[in-house]
Structure 1
Amino acid sequence: MEKVSLADAFASFDDHWEPRLAAELNGQAVKLAKVEGEFVWHHHDDADELFFVHSGELRIELRDRDDIELTAGEMVVVPRGVEHRPVADEESEILLFEPRETRNTGNVESDETREELNRID
């Protein structure tokens, strides 16, 4: 058991859309990412995805319903199968909670796809 300082963890990297593994529990992963700009449209066939905004703002664009606007301290769960695209107009820090094997781009293969994640030290 080791505690994780979110402030220190986010300060340890600068790249955008490169999730880092912060913790694992019961087959789930807690991932941290700095985000800015638009990510790819995608969905996850077998997993819900929790987005928690640590700092900044995040918009979850959805094809079949209204966008969801999140600010620091807010979160939303995007259900499996729902096509979505995270967007941050300015740099934001987010926490993701999802099954460990969940690929960041879900059903889409792109330049942003990450199969292996670096662990926060």
Structure 2
Amino acid sequence: MERAIPEFVGIPAPAVSCWTTAHADVHWATLTEPLRLLDWEGWGRAPEGYDAATLYAYTLLQSDTAACVRTVFPILGSRAGVAAEATMCAQLLQTVARGDNLVLKERLRDWAEELRRR
């Protein structure tokens, strides 16, 4: 966080007000109906809101769904959630720099810009 957030998001790493247990890979392929969360091999401790930020990141190409995720998870956009958002944004921008997740590149840059404005 101390290195990646300033480098990729352009802000100092926010203080984490609460560390919590996180799945650490929440996206549409790890969610089922009825609601179950699959694939727990990467779980651990993360800033509060990290799983919500991860799901949000993987909805950036569907603006209506992204807005819904932000509504359902009010930690996103809050002072407490900025560490989780900045961490996820930085992690994915890092993958873009390596040539992965290029489809998300512009949306991630927009997200980083929003985080800088906060």
TM-score over 0.5 for the pair: no
TM-score bucket of the superposed structures, by smaller chain? under 0.3
TM-score by length of 1: 0.27
Higher helix proportion, which one?
2
Higher strand proportion, which one?
1
TM-score by length of 2: 0.27
